Amino acid sequence: MDLFKRCYEYKRVEEAKAMGIYPYFRALSSAPDNVVTMEGGRKIMLGSNNYLGLTTDRRTKDAAIAAVEQYGTGCSGSRFLNGTLTIHLELERALADFLQKDDCIIFSTGFQSNLSIISAITDRNDVILTDSMNHASIVDGTRLSFARTIKYRHNDMEDLERLLKKHAEETRGGILVITDGVFSMEGEICNLPEIVRLKKKYNARLLIDDAHAIGVLGDHGRGTAEHFGLTEDVDLIMNTFSKTLASLGGCVVGETKVIEYIRHTARPFIFSASIPPAQVAAARRSLEILIEEPWRVARLHEIAAYMREKLSALPHIRLHDSGNTLVPIIPIKTGTVMCTLKIANELFAAGVYVNSVLPPAVAEEDCLLRTSFTATHTNEQLDEAAEIIGKVFTEFADDPFCAGCLP
């Protein structure tokens, strides 16, 4: 069989484009702000992870520009060799201090962060217990590891304890529990107090992916561990720079011995070029703004509660119950793939961009429209978006493609 046969037979993209409902790779011709120009039209952006609104902040942009002027556009090498700049070390120290851990490594992408961490600290004698809804980078990190990987049911602490008890008795090595702090599709917060209790009971270690929690949870925006007051009990905290920190890259913080081991053994880190100067400087300045302006975190919580209440009051809309009003990720249930794509396309035409969440990210009949919000959204923008969403969902309430999908 020709290796490319599966590529030639792949028709989904062609079919979706022919129907006018293809939702991906829409191009912006403006900065990624609260309101953008996308494919020639004005759109209220409800699909970004720019949680604190810093991607267009003058201070962030100036820091990136200054870094390019001083250091150039790239590092032309691995951190291991010629690719470490003084600003890499400064950012690592600042992140360790902010997240209240001993040490830190920064990586070129958030995805690379999880690949590096997981593959470095586990081997064939170990067991990884991972939430079934964890991010794809965690899934691939476990595949890169030689450890035995077992999924526990999403946020199900009884299932996690069952697996911990079983493998604490059987495994020859150690156990690593991995969870998202905030689950990116659902906006749910992990049950960290119970996970910490269980990892202590069964002598496991804990890695939290806090990509959607830094700048979102905690009084100071330090994330899930601060939110629950459990910073000392979390062994490793991973973060990405592409959301709150308005850049590109990622990091992990933890105790010095562990971070030093990852630094010298993680193949995705060792054999990748280091994060470019502009991205380092933008992340550092964004971190400083987060510390200097805690009102952004408070405003984000205010917006999340405001929009959850506003959207839940609209007819024909069912929200996913995340169990909290703090996280600025509010998924709207849309049922089937076709209903989801048709509504998303109509919202786009009406001036609101949202993200379609389709299989395999969710089950076939549990598709979502993921809305997400930014601390710099104005109430006027939020009200306008909610009004458009309400009108579009009402239009589709009797559409045959959405039969049984909408209330």
Residues 352, 35 contacting (CB under 8 angstroms): no
**Does the active-site annotation cover 184?**
yes
Tell me if 301 sits within 8 A of 217, measured CB to CB. no
Q: Is the peptide bond before 359 cis (omega within 30 degrees of 0)?
A: no
- The reply to whether 97 and 49 lie within a common domain is no
Closest by CA position to 36, among listed 56, 16, 15: 56
| Those residues with Cβ within 8 angstroms of residue 209's Cβ, 6 or more apart along the chain or in another chain | 114, 134, 135, 137, 138, 178, 179, 180, 181, 238
Amino acid identity for residue 128 in this structure: I
Cα(369)–Cα(47) distance, integer angstroms: 9
Name residue, tokens 């949680």: 51
Asked whether the predicted pLDDT for residue 222 surpasses 90, the reply is: yes
pLDDT above 90 for 362:
no
Q: Among the three residues 246, 272, 292, which one is the final residue of a domain in this structure?
A: 292
- Count of domains for the chain: 2
Instruction: Give the rounded percent of residues in the chain with a pLDDT score beyond 70.
Output: 100
In 3D, which of 233, 200, 6, 238 has the Cα closest to residue 105? 238
Q: What sign has the CA pseudo-torsion 373, 309, 222, 376?
A: positive
Alpha-carbon span 128 to 146, nearest angstrom: 10
Say how far residue 108 (Cα) sits from the centre of its chain: 16
Residues 6+ apart with CB under 8 A from 380: none
Q: Do 97 and 37 sit in the same domain of this protein?
A: no
pLDDT at 1: 87
User: What pLDDT score does 322 carry?
Assistant: 92
pLDDT tens digits, one per residue of 250-262: 999 999 999 999 9
Residue 23 — pLDDT band, cuts 50, 70, 90? very high
- CA distance linking residue 356 with residue 21, whole number of Å: 11
Listed residue (103, 85, 83) closest to 94, CA to CA = 103
Which two structure tokens, joined as six digits, stand for 401? 């493609």
Can you list the alpha helix ranges (DSSP code H) found in 20-81? 58-71
Do both 126 and 256 map to the same domain? yes
237 and 288 both lie in a single domain: yes
Helix axes 110-121, 256-265, angle to 10 degrees: 100
Do both 173 and 287 map to the same domain? yes
Higher pLDDT, 69 or 398: 69
Question: Does one domain contain both 214 and 73?
Answer: yes
Domain that residue 329 falls in: 5-55+294-402
Active site annotation includes 264: no
- The reply to whether 261 and 299 lie within a common domain is no
pLDDT tier, 229 (very low <50, low <70, confident <90, very high otherwise):
very high
Q: How far apart are CA 373 and CA 296, in angstroms?
A: 12
Give the three-class secondary structure for 251.
strand
Q: Say if 239 falls within a structural domain.
A: yes
Any domain includes 378: yes
The arithmetic mean of pLDDT across residues 325-342, rounded, is 95
- Cβ-proximal residues to 156 (8 Å cutoff; 6+ apart), any chain: none
Tens-place pLDDT, residues 263-303: 999 999 999 999 999 999 999 999 999 999 999 999 999 99
Selected catalytic residue, list 116, 119, 184, 272: 184
Q: Are residues 121 and 270 in the same domain?
A: yes
Look at residue 264 and tell me if it is in a domain.
Answer: yes
Q: Is residue 222 located within the same domain as residue 366?
A: no
Residue 32 binned pLDDT confidence (cut-offs 50, 70, 90): very high
Residue 121: give its domain's CATH number: 3.40.640.10
Q: Decide if 407 is inside a domain.
A: no
Q: Which of 61, 101, 212, 227 is catalytic?
A: 212
Same domain for 277 and 188, yes or no, is yes
120-147 pLDDT tens trace: 999 999 999 999 999 999 999 999 999 9
Q: What pLDDT score was predicted for residue 210?
A: 98
Question: 274, 292, 310: which is the final residue of a domain?
Answer: 292
Output the CA torsion sign for 395, 399, 402, 407: positive
Query: Which pair of structure tokens corresponds to residue 31?
Result: 């900065």
Asked whether the beta carbons of 249 and 108 are under 8 A apart, the reply is yes
User: CA-CA distance, 76 to 273, in Å (whole number)?
Assistant: 7
Q: What average pLDDT score do residues 373-379 get?
A: 97
Crossing angle (nearest 10°) for helices 295-312 and 379-396: 30
| pLDDT tops 90 at residue 235 | yes
Q: Looking at the structure, do residues 108 and 209 belong to the same domain, yes or no?
A: yes
How many C-beta atoms surround the C-beta of residue 325 within 10 A?
Answer: 16
Nearest to 106 by CA among 228, 321, 273: 273
Distance CA 80, CA 311 (A): 49
Residue with more model confidence, 361 or 62: 62
Please report which confidence band the pLDDT of residue 360 belongs to, taking 50, 70 and 90 as the band edges: confident
- How far apart are the C-alpha atoms of 44 and 307, rounded to whole Å? 14
Contact 109, 249 (CB under 8 A): yes
Instruction: Give pTM, 2 decimals.
Output: 0.96
Q: Residue 178: is its pLDDT beyond 90?
A: yes
Q: What percent of the chain has pLDDT over 90?
A: 95
Which is catalytic among the residues 61, 167, 243, 316?
243
Contact between residue 269 and residue 263 where contact means Cβ atoms under 8 Å apart: yes
* Across 43-61, average pLDDT: 97
Structure tokens at 137: 């980078």
Question: What is the pLDDT, as a whole number, of residue 406?
Answer: 93
The whole-number average pLDDT for the span 355-361 is 91
Domain end among 292, 320, 338: 292
> How far is the C-alpha of 262 from the C-alpha of 239, rounded, in Å?
15
The domain spanning residue 10 has which CATH number? 3.90.1150.10
- Average pLDDT over the chain, rounded to whole? 96
- Give yes or no for residue 309 having a pLDDT over 90: yes
- 45 beta partners: 353
Average pLDDT over residues 37-56: 97
Q: Tell me the mean pLDDT in the region 317-331.
A: 95
Give the pLDDT mean for 366-372.
96
Which strands form 329-335's sheet, in the order they lie side by side?
Answer: 329-335, 367-372, 355-357
DSSP-H helix ranges across 208-276: 224-228, 256-265, 267-270
- Residues 272, 167, single domain; the answer is yes
